[in-house]
Amino acid sequence: MKEEVKINITEKESQRQLRFIEHLRDYYTEKSEELQRPLTCHIATFGCQMNARDSEKILGTLEQIGFKEVDTEEADFVIYNTCTVRENANLKVYGRLGHLSQLKKKNPHMLIALCGCMMQEDAVVDKIKKSYRFVDIIFGTHNIFKLAELIQARLDSKDMIIDIWKDATEIVEDLPSERKYKFKAGVNIMFGCNNFCTYCIVPYVRGRERSRNPEDIIKEIKDLVADGVVEIMLLGQNVNSYGKNLEEPMTFAGLLREIEKIDGLERVRFMTSHPKDLSDDLIDAMKDSKKICTHLHLPVQSGSSRILKIMNRHYTKEQYLNLVDRIKNAIPNISLTTDIIVGFPGETEEDFLETLDVIRKVRYESAFTFVYSKRTGTPAANMEEQVDDEVVKDRFNRLLKEVKIISSELTGRETGTVQKVLVEGINEQDSELVTGRLSNNLLVHFKGSTELIGRIVNVKLVECKGFYYIGEMVEAQ
Ligand code: 5AD
Ligand code: SF4
């Protein structure tokens, strides 16, 4: 059931939700005593960093209710936070749901919930209502904060609970959230997207752009730093248009300058930057900053001005290359990454060669390469000249080859230098090694132990192994 949002969410909303959480905690404490075991939850997250951040909020609520997170889907509460940006993300969800229904037959206490971008599509919800009757709760991207209330509603009724909002007008602050890492965190600065690139479903499922107030963002970051966080990733579909719709408008560069002043914060990253809105002021803010990392993700999508126009990207190949020049001139050691789509409707061999040309000219450290996926409801889905599968496959392979050649040429360029590295964890293959991240986002493995996790240390990059370095710690900072 889709409905327009008429409710104005007040600051009291988080208080209201906390009451549902408390009520559920009493209910589940009793259940756990009855069953003589802890109640468990499992969250499967599909898609982007926004979803990863939303999952932390979901886990925060579930843990406050009393669920203990487990690694397996044999849990009392299983939730899929879905993605719909490309069709194969949807197919994965349907595939795994079949398996969940078997698990539910074995555990009568099990609740299954679905949320995220896929649920914002009418056709998906219809299909689940019809063919996946064992699902208990469905909600969307705009009302994650209502999770406790929806669980309560499910316990009070025996029916599937469906609550999808078409859009949201306000942002609910101060809800519980459980962070995955102690030393780094994602911070939403805005939600939604107004760009309507013609291939993309995001504006339809994440709604219009809404920026958080700078005071709320700064307070969240200060609290995180007080809690041991040294690196933050500012999240938004298009961070460069941050602040345009605030009562007192503010630019993204302005926000970054405020964040720069936070004592104890060491590193700032952000994602994603739309090239059309990347200002000279932002380049200056990056250049002047001691905290903003030397990595910029700048999705190009296509190198052909003709295709870019049909994609509704609002820049030409030349404008993009000129922007890259300005960035590289200001910040010579910047590491650039990108997103590229091949096989957009009407893409010719000539258009594709323009994309290869951009890759050679920009020289990306790495690139996420996607085969165009037709998303129902987007303008591109109705464009006639869909490209033949074989042609797309061939272009995709040629693209990948080019990206690999360039990134392997680039990654070794800092061999021999000493760099600051944030240690993220013990190496998965060799427990004598730790794995850390350079400012430019590349990984380094070097000898070390658990007490280094979360610290920034100086590491000499001894050898480049393609996409990562082997290093040696020089001294702790
Ligand atoms: N098909 C293929 N790739 C897509 N992306 C978004 N929509 C589609 C689609 N329909 C890619 C874009 C975007 C990234 C997050 O996903 O490259 O930058
Ligand atoms: Fe999709 Fe374009 Fe918005 Fe990115 S900027 S989320 S590609 S519509």
pLDDT of residue 180: 83
pLDDT-based confidence at residue 11 (cuts at 50, 70, 90): low
Coil/strand/helix, residue 443 = strand
**75 Cβ inside 6 Å of ligand 2:** no
| Percent of the chain's residues with pLDDT above 70 | 96
Closest ligand to C-alpha of residue 47 is: 1
Amino acid at 40: T
Q: Which residues partner with 472 through β-bridges?
A: 460
260 pLDDT more than 50: yes
**What average pLDDT does the chain have?**
93
What confidence tens digit (pLDDT) does each residue in 216-233 have? 999 999 999 999 999 999
- Which atom of ligand 2 is found nearest the CA of 339? 7
**Residue 406, H or E segment:** helix 389-411
Ligand 2 centroid to Cα of residue 313, in Å, is 9
477 pLDDT more than 70: no
What residue ranges define each of the domains in the chain, with the CATH number in brackets? 9-163 (3.40.50.12160), 184-412 (3.80.30.20), 417-473 (2.40.50.140)
DSSP string, 235-274: E-TTGGGTTTTSSS---HHHHHHHHHT-TT--EEEEE---
pLDDT of residue 5: 37
Place of tokens 């995955």: 180
What confidence tens digit (pLDDT) does each residue in 44-100 have? 999 988 999 999 999 999 999 999 999 999 999 999 999 999 998 899 999 999 999
pLDDT-based confidence at residue 161 (cuts at 50, 70, 90): very high
pLDDT of residue 167: 78
DSSP summary character for residue 86: S
- The dihedral through the CA atoms of 205, 209, 215, 218 has a sign that is positive
pLDDT, mean of residues 321-327: 98
162 pLDDT more than 50: yes
What confidence tens digit (pLDDT) does each residue in 16-42 have? 899 999 999 999 999 999 999 999 999
Ligand 1 centroid to Cα of residue 87, in Å, is 10
**301 Cβ inside 6 Å of ligand 1:** yes
pLDDT, mean of residues 232-255: 95
| Spacing of C-alpha 56 from chain mean position | 12
**197 Cβ inside 6 Å of ligand 2:** yes
pLDDT, mean of residues 242-253: 94
Rounded to whole angstroms, how far apart are CA atoms 173 and 187?
Answer: 12
**200 Cβ inside 6 Å of ligand 1:** yes
What confidence tens digit (pLDDT) does each residue in 352-388 have? 999 999 999 999 999 999 999 999 999 999 998 889 9
DSSP string, 150-173: HHHHHHHSSSPEEEEES--SS---
Coil/strand/helix, residue 364 = coil
Token pair belonging to 416: 């021999």
What confidence tens digit (pLDDT) does each residue in 420-455 have? 999 999 998 999 999 999 999 999 999 999 999 999
Ligand 2 centroid to Cα of residue 222, in Å, is 30
